[in-house]
Chains A and B, each alone.
Chain A
Amino acid sequence: MDWRGWAEIVFTIALTVAVGWPLGIYMARVWTGERTVLDPVLKPVEAGFYAALGVDRNKGHGWLGYAGAVLAFSAAGFALLYAILRLQGQLPLNPQGFDGLSPHLAFNTAVSFVTNTNWQSYGGETTVSSLSQMLGLTVQNFVSGAVGLSVAAAMARAFAADRGETLGNFWVDLTRSTLYVLLPVSIVTALALVAAGVPQSLLANVTAKTLEGADQIIALFPVASQEAIKQWGTNGGGLFNVNSAHPFENPTPLTNLIEVVSLNAIAFATVVAFGRVAGARKEARALIAAMVILLSLGAAAIYAAETLTPQPAMVAAGITDAPANMEGKEVRFGAAASAVWAAQTTGTANGSVNSMHASYMPLGGGVAMFLMQLGEIVPGGAGSGLYGMVVMALLSVFVAGLMVGRTPEYLGKKVEAREIKFAMLAVLILPLSILGFSAISAVLPVALEGLLNKGPRGLTEILYAYSSATGNNGSAYAGLTANAPWWNTTLGIAMLLGRFAYMVPVIALAGAIAAKPKLKPTAGTLPSDSPLFVGLLIGIILILGGLQFFPALALGPIVEHFQVLAAAR
């Protein structure tokens, strides 16, 4: 642990917010349909989509219509992707000649990409064809992120509305989020990555002779473009098995910085856009402050755990002044850049990694897992981080807001039974899916077959998998072989629950909020833009998350941590 590490963490997070801010200002214009600089190029394309789909762009959806459209679109996307993955062996653009995926793996993978999770039960470079990659996975990389952004836009409009009946048109939100936001930022980022040395190729594998004279197959892909949307869409599913630790995906500290910034910036941008559309810029700043503080705490905790915890192997070897734990980390990035990435990727529902979380010290991995268990809201996935944070803000306002002697209000909307009902429905999904599936898997012989470790580490592997799936994160804790029917199926269900069983109540919540009169704040209104509110929000998030998962964490990373400490003594 040294000042350079801390400076790196602070700089990375600050740069991420700084990039997200102007993007958010632009995104607000996209959501409201105002003129943007890209209109001359994209307007005709956009109009073409609406004409082809028969969409009346001025006709808004009620919450049921919006939710129905989201579900229908996602279901269709799932069916298409499932078919492509199963049939890729018979389809063109398969230079490596890969077979179709097994039913459970295809189910898991299709769900994974449609839910913006990008959990990969397979090794990227050895399983899916270029066609599956480009027509299947990459399409979902864009549109699943755009679905999240759309719901965030609907939530923003709900708060802006005064007795509103509609949340906007999902097809318009989807089209504009993809065309005006994800596509341009991905193109710019891809070019930057190419310039910084990331390959971009449609050729098949290259076979090289190694120094020992063995054949090495080097997989080639259009890496830079995949990498860009992998990060911006908070997807995280890499082309290569080891994700952004792979030198093709992430060759240098500069590409590392570009990628880590682009994995978080969209989440901050969503909050900025929300503040502008909902007419609550100051309040949006408070949400960002809460996110930044929690994210920084997470990164700091991981960095501290990785540098301060005694490492059993080092202790055994009698080395007392061991540097940071470097197992599973790339030397070209170091502990600080790995810690900040780990925090950003688990706080964001992204799930791409530049180091192996399973090789972290118990608390380091535990903090990464806890960030996912908080509900992927610091700052969270594309769109989903914002609406998850709004749910937490509503709960915070409700619990503490009563203490000012009024029915709690948030952004001019009264928080009453209906809102609390939908908020609680959404929040309940996390413990139900994470703890429920983990508890069953922990005692089910067929599940335990996939587990490398026993004891606390084994439990952490299980918990991490379901936390990642339910949070739609997608990062994994190595040691678990998940490509088996039980894991593929239940993790797939966990991803579906975490995405849609959360999203539908949230859309219903948006509908309820839109329908309410928009109230002007008075001196008696709880201020939701003050440092006090930020503190309150952080407190509620930590206490609520902590209370749900503390017992499980105690049996996993926490006990392992104390065991490591005891062994070092």
Chain B
Amino acid sequence: MSFSLARSGAFDQAVILAALKSAFTKLDPRALAGNPVILATEVVAVLATVSAVVAIAGGQPAGFAVQIAAWLWLTVIFANFAEAIAEGRGKAAADALRATRVTTKAKLIIDASRNAIIPTPAHELAPDDIVLVEAGDVIPADGEIVEGVASVNEAAITGESAPVIRESGGDRSAVTGGTTVVSDWIKVRVTSRPGSSFLDRMIAMVEGADRRKTPNELALAVLLAGLTLVFLIAVVTLTGLGAFSGVSLDPMVLGALFVTLIPTTIGGLLSAVGIAGMDRLLKVNVLATSGRAVEAAGDVDTLLLDKTGTITFGNRMAVEVVPAPGMRPEAALRAALMASLADETPEGRSIVDLARSLGVTAEIPHGANAIPFSATTRQSGLDSDGKSWRKGAVDAVIRTLDLSEAQVPAELRQAVDAIARSGGTPLAVSENGALAGVIHLKDVVKPGVKDRFADLRRMGVRTVMITGDNPVTAAAIASEAGVDDFLAEATPEDKLRIIRAEQAKGRLVAMCGDGANDAPALAQADVGVAMQTGAQAAREAGNMVDLDSDPTKVLEIVEVGKQLLITRGALTTFSIANDVAKYFAIIPALFVVSLPALGALNVMGLSSPQSAILSAVIFNALVIVALIPLALRGVRYRAIGAAKLLSRNLTLYGIGGLIAPFVGIKLIDMLVSALGLA
């Protein structure tokens, strides 16, 4: 996969420049309406500016006021910058997509019987219009093929340059606007409205155009707004309490105290974290239709996985050849190899691969005659120089050799039974009319999936394998892959039933699918990942589309969701823990002139009250910038179980958040006083 939607780096110069610009345009209070913490910061910044201007106009010393006002503005700008840079990465990807959206003229069929066509601009097409698309044409809208077969280049959407076959009927009938027909022709029934095609939605998603707060973001926003109110009360009431104590408080300093206390760190980074979560999904070529879906991915309790393609490679593969009594193993293996040399099916290739891996190789002899598989003989093979090799279904081979049950050696019969019991498929091999051995074909579990399922289990995610196989085969694969549960002989309706049953227990379910018959289950699942190569109905029903059409992707999606939530929690904890140190910087500074005894609270030994306040404000602003990379990259997710993960992150971001500002503010204070800024 060479193409990635999120190929633009976070810190490309162009992205940074655009983000800087947008950091300033976002100063418009209307843009900040959804973010009470940063809006409050901006209000204080305006007030501080006014008081600095008044001081200058009045000829009073204003250096301190100007610096405070400047740093308050920088706090807002840094927060805006964080959001802008996250958005910028999406925008770059969206631009790439937009470039592929062409204003093509569609060939609208107005009379199907005579193939009468009028050229119509693509944006005027309505659902249920039928259009003709021929080789070299760009498909004008999303739709379903009603007639014809064509190869289509879908690189615009998937980045994959090899054309794919699309044909009417079945699960491969969906076509996407913006992709190009390379050969042949198709008639397409339009399914999307103008402006709401798959490509349009993809662009909107990537850009975050219709970004709405997710449930968890909403809850966090409520908490942050509540904390902001708490600190507003604490700071405003300080005027009355201070007056009683004979302390005169500079409103500017109170404003600074307020801004340092409210959770500006998480408030400034919250939306960046959300956008970055979508972005990380894009990086693995998954498009989510909403942030809600990404968040739900982190919460998934049950993962429904199709066996084929997700857990196993999807093709049965040879794993061993059991020799007939009296045959040497190599001889049996060679017979199996010769019987398979001309067999181009994946099973045939796997036998060749097995032989090669055991050091047995051969070429098709000159003049050899390949015997193809047929439904009547149910075997295939090779004839050469009067010799013959065959392989096929055990009963078919035995019948061809004209052997009775009793003439089959007991060892081979036992081997055949054992293979069947283990969920595998036995194939008999004959050489020159004699039984040579039995090939064991089995569904091979992908390497690494067992570990990933174990990881998921540690994080509390249950895996359920869905397969059409019989229960014996299913059980064998299930235990080999280490899934928690399986459903054999499953129909698409079973998937829907399982999802509903799990949801009734309050669990969140994720699944992936590509067939039209998966659509109801995809729609029902909390996280439904449709394959880009799948049916249109499936893509409509799911809330994520995997552009690589790789069913194992769902595991990565879960991790991205978890990472998103972890990052939010870590930054919130860090932000709140920071306040302790800020109090120890600002409270003594506020009161020490009138109440010298409170100098004892200056545990950091900050050089002067003004320097202490300025240092706290500067730290508060800089910490946002310092954490932008973490917000964009996300806190690393580790599958070590909830308890361990909590204690690890709590130490890192809770205790760390307590200590870091003590160090940071002290260092800034040393710098500020060395430079004589306050």
Contacts and interface: CB of A to CB of B under 8 A. Distances in A.
A562 B598 contact: yes
Nearest to A458: B244
Contacts of B643: 526-527, 530, 532
A551 B642 contact: no
B642 A526 contact: yes
A438 interface: yes
Contacts of A432: 233
A551 B233 contact: no
B218 interface: yes
Contact of B566 (A403, A543, A555, A565): A403
Interface in B566-586: 566, 568-570, 572-573, 576-577, 579-580, 583
Given A407-B565, A520-B505, A532-B646, A439 B239 contact: yes
Contacts of A439: 236-241
A16 B673 CA distance: 54
Interface string B594-619: 01011011000000000000000000
A427 B229 CA distance: 11
A252 interface: no
Contacts of B645: 403-405
Interface string B228-260: 011101111111111111010000000000000
Interface in B191-235: 215-216, 218-220, 222-223, 225-226, 229-231, 233-235
A456 interface: yes
Contacts of B245: 455-456, 459, 555, 559
The secondary-structure label for the interface of chain B is helix
A559 B298 contact: no
A516 to B, nearest CB: 8
Nearest to A412: B506
Contact of B222 (A424, A435, A550): A424
Contacts of B295: 407
Nearest to A402: B569
B234 A431 contact: yes
Interface stretch (B78-86, B453-461, B473-481): B453-461
Given A400-B573, A427-B226, A552 B598 contact: no
B240 A523 contact: no
Interface residues of A, number: 68
A519 interface: yes
Interface stretch (A35-43, A135-143, A186-194, A413-421): A413-421
Interface string A421-463: 1001101100110011011101100000000000110110011
Nearest to B236: A439
A536 B649 CA distance: 12
Interface string A296-310: 000000000000000
A427 B228 CA distance: 13
A483 interface: no
B271 to A, nearest CB: 16
A309 to B, nearest CB: 14
B240 A443 contact: yes
A525 interface: yes
A155 to B, nearest CB: 20
Contacts of B539: none
B13 interface: no
B460 A558 contact: no
B653 interface: yes
A543 B580 contact: yes
A420 B234 contact: no
Contact of A523 (B219, B225, B229, B460): B460
Contacts of A562: 597-598, 600
B646 A400 contact: yes
Contacts of B241: 435, 438-439, 442, 459, 463, 551-552, 555
Contacts of A539: 654
A477 to B, nearest CB: 15
A398 interface: yes
A417 B587 contact: no
Given A403-B569, A406-B565, A443 B244 contact: yes
Nearest to B652: A403
Contacts of A415: 219
A554 interface: yes
A402 B245 CA distance: 42
B187 interface: no
A365 interface: no
A546 interface: yes
A399 B576 contact: yes
A436 B569 contact: no
B348 to A, nearest CB: 43
A443 B569 contact: no
A407 B600 CA distance: 42
Contact of B240 (A404, A440, A525, A549): A440
A499 interface: no
A548 interface: yes
Interface residues on B, range: 35 or more
Contacts of B176: none
Contacts of B553: none
A424 B229 CA distance: 10
Contacts of B247: 555
A527 B647 CA distance: 11
A247 interface: no
Contact of B573 (A403, A516, A527, A552): A403
Contact of A532 (B230, B231, B563, B650): B650
B216 A403 contact: no
B222 A403 contact: no
Nearest to B213: A417
B242, B247, B642 interface centre (most CB from chain A within 10 Å): B642
A522 interface: yes
B598 A402 contact: no
A201 B458 CA distance: 66
B591 interface: yes
Contacts of A554: 587, 591, 598, 601
A523 B458 contact: yes
Contacts of A404: 566, 569, 642, 645-646, 649
A88 B561 CA distance: 66
A455 to B, nearest CB: 7
Nearest to A523: B460
B650 A559 contact: no
B105 interface: no
Given A420-B222, A523-B641, A555-B245, A405 B583 contact: no
A518 interface: yes
A523 B454 CA distance: 11
Contacts of B64: none
B642 A527 contact: yes
Contacts of A399: 223, 569, 572-573, 576
Interface string B286-313: 0000000001001101000000000000
Interface string B135-172: 00000000000000000000000000000000000000
Contacts of B641: 523-524
Contact of B216 (A395, A416, A525, A546): A416
B219 A420 contact: yes
B255 to A, nearest CB: 14
B646 to A, nearest CB: 5
7 closest Cβ pairs, A-B complex? A524-B460, A402-B569, A439-B240, A522-B460, A405-B562, A424-B226, A517-B506
21 contacts: A403-B569, A407-B216, A407-B565, A417-B222, A420-B223, A435-B234, A436-B233, A438-B237, A442-B241, A443-B244, A522-B461, A524-B458, A532-B643, A546-B580, A547-B576, A551-B590, A554-B591, A554-B598, A555-B595, A558-B598, A559-B598
Given A456-B595, A547-B231, 8 more contacts: A405-B459, A424-B222, A431-B230, A443-B244, A519-B507, A525-B642, A532-B646, A547-B234
Interface of A: 162, 395, 398-407, 415-417, 419-421, 424-425, 427-428, 431-432, 435-436, 438-440, 442-443, 455-456, 458-459, 462-463, 516-520, 522-527, 530, 532, 536, 539, 543, 546-552, 554-555, 558-559, 562-563, 565-566
